[in-house]
Amino acid sequence: MDLNKVEVETPSLDFIKTHLRDAISHCSDRGLYFAAKWAAETLNSLPESFIDTSTSGSGSLSIFSDTKNETTTKNFMSNFERDKFLLAKSYFDVKEFDRASFILEKCVSSKSQFLKIYAKYLAGEKRKEEESNDIMGPLDDPKAINKELVTIQGELEKLYNNNEMDGFLLYLYGLITKQLGSQRMAIKFFLSSVNAYPYNWSAWLELSQCVADKNQLKEIMQELPKHFMTKFFNLYTSVELNEDQNNFYSLLSGFPSHFNDNKSIKTLKAIVHYNNREFAEAERDFDELILSDPFRLDDMDIYSNVLYVMDKKAKLSFLAHMSANTDKYRSETMCIIGNYYSLKSEREKAISYFKRALQVNRHCLTAWTLMGHEYVELKNTHAAVVAYKRALEVNPNDYRAWFGLGQTYQFLKMDFYAIYYYERATVLRPQDARMWEALAGLYETVNSQEKAIKCYEHTLLNADAEELRNAHRFLAHYRRDLGDINAATSHAQYLMNYEGTAREEGRTLMNDLSSLVHDNQQPPPSQLSSSTLL
């Protein structure tokens, strides 16, 4: 049979259009993105027909029943615009962002505007990544900017001034403003966005990253909507800002019981344990998470930190292999493997893995910080400083990076710098004694005795054995030098509770002090110290 002679009825234009429209959604629902793209392109190449001018839309309505909270009238799309939107979305799904943005040039509905601007933004980000692709190499450019930002901001400003922004566009505006450096305005926009549409977790996340400290959090508290999403936000932010554990648990109790099995809350609990150095509990929590979700990779890099600190090589190796099996090319996997090599003291390899993690995700905080630690171990102070500083650019609230910087500068004997960095660390975590002790040591070096005393007193509040001993010893000496015999005595008594040299010291100090009381004299400090340290 000659195929050319087969009579095929030419279907009508409307018939073709309707079916192609359906095809787009059917294919993309099933993940067949190229098929969807073809269907969309064909649909858009057809001439206009009657169906385009009619306002009732056929085809799957689910995409077009838009968010109900929007107050603008711009969420209505004409048929013609809807076809363009479908085409743009299909390009977006295959990551052709410039094309998506170009197709939507003339569209006016909120959804189209969002997609257009977001696609342009992502295109710029992609180009930015491509330009600065060398981590810590000669081409590394931390301040490579997304060139589309300025044009996008202009467009968004126009929309904002016309009050045409829905929750999503406000989120986008906040994102752009944050990237352009103006955090305060960004916070304002994010607040408007979550108030307009509270279910966009990305907006909440960005808001939490913009909030720099507890005071700012208090300021914006009133402006947050009374919504269950706000509870999540508060929980997340309390972890981010290293707030007190009790605060976290009290917030947690305020959650309705539906959320008991919520994985993200469980993860946050595990992270809180880790931050408070309760490693065993953290390990337990993470194990539970992996059991219920064996292919999960989110936050596994933090689990690897826990295992690293606990020195559990075998388990860390197991975790590394498991994640590499799931996805070799994610930044979390690379961080885990880096931690493993670091534990085995193969520093070079560890650094290379951290670099790879960063190539995948430039904003991976753990990778930068851990890389800094590795460079310190290798005594490459310059690189360590750069790595820590990049970590701080990603998240200025990372106390580990500040502490690392302080240590590096202390090693470089640049004391004033070190003091500044340690101070920043202590501001973030006042309950952590290690930092106070380090700070006190530095103040001693620069002969700022009073400050040193204050720092040691802070240490006393939270320290463990080792630190307590040093603190007491130091305080005893200084109090005695300053003439405060009673305080010195009490510190010396604490010292006696330990064993070894500390006890000896304590005893000699007590003797000295009692003699002082009897003599009622203030012996010059230098003489006494040389005699006591027999």
List contacts with another protein (CB under 8 A): 142-143, 145, 149-150, 153, 179-182, 389, 393, 414, 416-417, 419-420, 423-424, 426-427, 446, 448, 451, 454
Q: Tell me, what DSSP letter sits at residue 10?
A: P
Q: Which is nearer to another protein, 155 or 288 (CB)?
A: 155
At its nearest, how many Å lie between another protein and the CB of residue 442? Answer: 9
Q: Which is nearer to another protein, 64 or 417 (CB)?
A: 417
At its nearest, how many Å lie between another protein and the CB of residue 244? Answer: 17
Cα(342)–Cα(502) distance, integer angstroms? 34
At its nearest, how many Å lie between another protein and the CB of residue 158? Answer: 15
Q: Tell me, what DSSP letter sits at residue 126?
A: H
Cα(16)–Cα(2) distance, integer angstroms? 25
At its nearest, how many Å lie between another protein and the CB of residue 427? Answer: 5
For 22-56, what is the HEC assignment?
HHHHHHHHCCCHHHHHHHHHHHHHCCCCHHHHCCC
At its nearest, how many Å lie between another protein and the CB of residue 124? Answer: 13
Give the other-Cβ count within 10 Å of 483's Cβ: 10
Q: Which is nearer to another protein, 315 or 454 (CB)?
A: 454
Q: Which is nearer to another protein, 238 or 426 (CB)?
A: 426
Cα(335)–Cα(302) distance, integer angstroms? 9
Q: Which is nearer to another protein, 148 or 505 (CB)?
A: 148
At its nearest, how many Å lie between another protein and the CB of residue 441? Answer: 14
Q: Give 433-441's long-range contacts (Cβ < 8 A, gap of 24+).
A: 433/458, 433/459, 433/461, 433/462, 433/463, 433/464, 433/467, 434/403, 434/467, 435/399, 435/403, 435/406, 436/462, 437/463, 437/467, 437/470, 437/471, 438/403, 438/406, 438/407, 438/410, 440/471, 440/474
At its nearest, how many Å lie between another protein and the CB of residue 426? Answer: 6
Q: Which of 411, 338, 406, 345 is nearest to 368 (CA)?
A: 338
Give the other-Cβ count within 10 Å of 154's Cβ: 9
Q: Which is nearer to another protein, 108 or 446 (CB)?
A: 446
Cα(147)–Cα(274) distance, integer angstroms? 39
At its nearest, how many Å lie between another protein and the CB of residue 407? Answer: 16
Q: Which is nearer to another protein, 259 or 420 (CB)?
A: 420
Q: Which is nearer to another protein, 188 or 424 (CB)?
A: 424
